[in-house]
Amino acid sequence: MEFRYLGNSGLKISEITYGNWITHGSQVENDVATQCVRRALDLGITTFDTADVYANTKAETVLGEALKDERRESIEIFTKVYWPTGPGGPNDSGLSRKHIMESINGSLQRLQTDYVDLYQAHRFDVETPLEETMQAFADVVRQGKALYIGVSEWTADQIRQGHAMAKDLGVQLISSQPQYSMLWRVIEPEVVPACEELGISQIVWSPMAQGVLSGKYLPGEGAPEGSRGADKDAGGNMGDFMTEPVLTAVQGLKPLAEEAGLTMPQLAVAWVLQNPNVAAALVGASRPEQLDDNVAASGVTLEPDLLAKIDEVLGDVVVRDAGQTDARAPKKRPT
């Protein structure tokens, strides 16, 4: 396992980071989830990412139980706040001071820890003054409940504003967590340059484009039984990629992966790690053995000619529009 600094900080994280979105507390039984976490640790993964909204807080509980016997100083635990939790009351979502303060306490209790290494704004809250949000995050850090702060799916302008306020408040905003893959490159035109300038790293989710870059979804055929695409809940997030042009283009990556001596998932994960602004690729698992394949992408260097061939094969199915980050952002606080 290779390790990278997270932003302009001294914190090192495993470049393959374990995430438990749509698995723990929902798709996967708790004992299997624990087995996956144990396997991640055995493979050298030290960094674990979750959020209070995943399975409506259950994912944090499962992760906390799985990690409770680990030496706390030897692992990094990340979580997030924004989306609705609990019964869905008027203050059960967003980035108000009230919700942030209540949410960090709930997360720490479920994770069975005194602090998280990184506390992230899961989206930008258009209904709360940014000053209020950043002051609350700064207070969470000063109280020792989080060491660093980060954001997820913020635009470049929002990141700049948040970073400036954090700096004035004396706390470190060091990370951005966007979707990023061979097929979804919307952060490259604006978010990445801004973050490089500010000393902020990317922790990218869905490096395999919801599993489409594994190559298991074939054009003209239905999703394989038991796959994410066949799951009525999880599959709803895959609309950008489950199209005939995309699935056809992805099949063209198979000979490139074979030529490089990699599996399709390894190629996908290694690809995002070629971006120097990426500190880690988030991977999940519904079975422990899936992690063995993903972790093998750590430390892999893809040659420039291979990267060029990937671009040629995927062609115009790649989404590069920087405006997609703002277009998909919540326009009001969710309930």
Catalytic residues: 54
Task: Give the burial class of 304: count Cβ atoms within 10 A of its Cβ; 0-12 exposed, 13-18 middle, 19 or more buried.
Answer: exposed
Given a contact cutoff of 8 angstroms between Cβ atoms, the answer to whether 145 and 102 are in contact is: no
Query: What secondary structure does DSSP assign to 82-108, as a single string?
Result: -S--TT--TTSSSS-HHHHHHHHHHHH
Choose among 154, 158, 78, 58: nearest CA to 119. 78
Read off the tokens for 3.
């390790």
Choose among 96, 103, 97, 95: nearest CA to 79. 103
Going by C-beta distance under 8 Å and a sequence separation of 6 or more, which residues neighbour residue 200?
7, 8, 159, 163, 173, 174, 175, 176, 194
Can you name the residues that pair with 14 across neighbouring β-strands?
3
Residues in the chain: 335
Distance between first and last Cα of the chain: 40
CA distance 47 to 59: 15
State the residue for tokens 């290494």: 117
Given a contact cutoff of 8 angstroms between Cβ atoms, the answer to whether 207 and 269 are in contact is: yes
Question: Which helix (H) or strand (E) covers residue 134, if one does?
Answer: helix 130-142
CA distance 312 to 53: 38
134: number of Cβ within 10 Å: 24
Given a contact cutoff of 8 angstroms between Cβ atoms, the answer to whether 65 and 24 are in contact is: no
CA distance 83 to 21: 13
